[in-house]
Amino acid sequence: MKSRDNLLRLKHFQVQDKTRQLAQIDMMIAEFQRMSSDLLAQIEIEEKKAGIMDINHFAYPTFAKAARTRVDNLAVSIRDLEEKRVPADEALKEAEEELKKAELKEARDGNSTEITEPVVDAMVERRMMIG
């Protein structure tokens, strides 16, 4: 009976951990996208100030050139994070399924004193709101 409680707690912890990891990835993607859009706005301001839009022009603003490089690096980082998000999302779904199976088994055996289903549903809803 105690081992089942421990198993249920473990599965619940795994779902929480996977949810947290996925939320962190989503927050990082959003932050990088925000930084990229801010840099693009600053680049546009610098180009208008200088009156030069051609990046290959010898008098093109140095800040704009460096900011363009940073935007490119952020785009690569965003793509990498989006690639990491797919397996993280799959791992979360798998952990949620394992938790539900463990909860159903516990409920079926009649040893369940605590129902964690609403907690899992709340986590799923919060994840849906984030990403």
pLDDT for the residue numbered 128: 57
User: Does the structure show a pLDDT above 60 at 35?
Assistant: yes
Tell me the mean pLDDT in the region 83-100. Answer: 95
Tokens 């081992």 sit at which residue? 3
Which two tokens mark 18? 């996977």
Model confidence at 50, in pLDDT bands (50, 70, 90)? very high
Model confidence at 59, in pLDDT bands (50, 70, 90)? very high
Coil, strand or helix: which one is 116? coil
**Residue 22 and residue 92 in contact, taking contact as beta carbons nearer than 8 Å:** yes
pLDDT for the residue numbered 127: 60
Tell me the mean pLDDT in the region 9-16. Answer: 92
